[in-house]
Amino acid sequence: MRQRLLQLRKQIKEEKPLIHCITNPISIHDCANVILAVGARPIMAEHPAEVEEITASSGALMLNLGNITDARIKSMKCSMRRAVENKIPVLLDLVGVACSDLRLDLARELLSIGHPAVLKGNMSELLAVSGLPSHAIGIDAGAQDALTSENIDAVSDVLKAFSRNNQAVVLATGKQDFVTDGEQVVLIENGTAALAGITGTGCMVGALTAAFLPGREDHIAKEMTDRTEAGVWSGSEMGLNGRSGNYLDAAVLGTALMGIAGEQAEKISRGPGSFQANLLDEIYGISDRQLLETLKIEMY
């Protein structure tokens, strides 16, 4: 996986795909900048009259449910439909669905339109969309929902089933990040408490992951063809109808990159102001060697 992550990072820098984001105004500036920092190009259009056209020309779509408005609700539905029609990968960030029926209903309606490539949220948000009890505190996950060594087997079963049911990679953010495609599970242990000291870092993880989604379908299709012809492809490797392999990589890379950048930025920052600036610099400047040496992932 580590070499695939490096190749994916290189590909996005070379191809510079357009990433359409419909997100909240609190984090819109930071989301645009982290997309630029990894070599992709952001467009933050959200007017209902233009979003379908813009989505159609994009490499990926990010929908973030934070700070929702009537116009943004309409735009998200329009863009989701166009993305599904055009086979454009979508990241759906379930911000606040555990504390707002409006957002929860919207999330479920978007999921009824089509399957996103990645479903992202904290543990409380993912439990809420799954229809299970959750203990959110506002937009934050409740302590009762946290991933622990005692509950990891049960949580893994729930999130893998949720992934398979929605034909999407599931990314659960927290002190320890959890990514699954319904079969494989990757635990990511990079990060620092300093990331919680500034607003929007969770949204930035979504933006980074979305930036690494474009072009995955062609790569997956070629890999399936090559391995089938070689007689070495198994059904279990195909994951979610063959779609998920590199969407899993995108989620792992986006999440780990934010965690590693946070660790490095904390070392040279005086407080949240300098940390925010240094975080962007670290996302931009992390070398492949540094990424490999500091990456903390475990296949579960």
Beta strands at 169-173 and 177-180: parallel, antiparallel or unpaired: antiparallel
* Cα–Cα distance measured from residue 30 to residue 208, given in angstroms and rounded to the nearest whole number: 11
Are 120 and 80 a contacting pair, CB within 8 Å?
no
* Cα–Cα distance measured from residue 232 to residue 162, given in angstroms and rounded to the nearest whole number: 28
* Cα–Cα distance measured from residue 22 to residue 236, given in angstroms and rounded to the nearest whole number: 34
Local confidence pLDDT in tens for the 300 residues of the chain: 889 999 999 999 999 999 999 999 999 999 999 999 999 999 999 999 999 999 999 999 999 999 999 999 999 999 999 999 999 999 999 999 988 999 999 999 999 999 999 999 998 899 889 887 776 677 767 676 677 778 888 888 989 999 999 999 999 998 899 999 999 999 999 999 999 999 999 999 999 999 999 976 544 444 434 433 444 333 334 344 444 458 999 999 999 999 999 999 999 999 999 999 999 999 999 999 999 999 999 988
Beta strands at 18-22 and 60-64: parallel, antiparallel or unpaired: parallel
pTM of the model: 0.89
* Cα–Cα distance measured from residue 133 to residue 91, given in angstroms and rounded to the nearest whole number: 24
Token couple for 52: 């379908």
Residue 70, CA atoms < 13 Å, CB-side half-sphere = 0
Instruction: Give the pLDDT of residue 147.
Output: 75
Other C-beta atoms within 10 Å of 229: how many? 9
Are 144 and 132 a contacting pair, CB within 8 Å?
no
Residue burial 17-49, b: 16+ Cβ < 10 Å; e: rest: bbbbbbbbeebbebbbbbbbbbbbebebbbebe
Other C-beta atoms within 10 Å of 138: how many? 11
* Cα–Cα distance measured from residue 120 to residue 90, given in angstroms and rounded to the nearest whole number: 11
Instruction: Give the pLDDT of residue 241.
Output: 41
What domains does the chain contain, in order, with CATH numbers?
2-299 (3.40.1190.20)
* Cα–Cα distance measured from residue 64 to residue 107, given in angstroms and rounded to the nearest whole number: 10
Q: What is the DSSP letter of 142?
A: P
Nearest-CA neighbor of 225 among 238, 209, 240, 208? 238
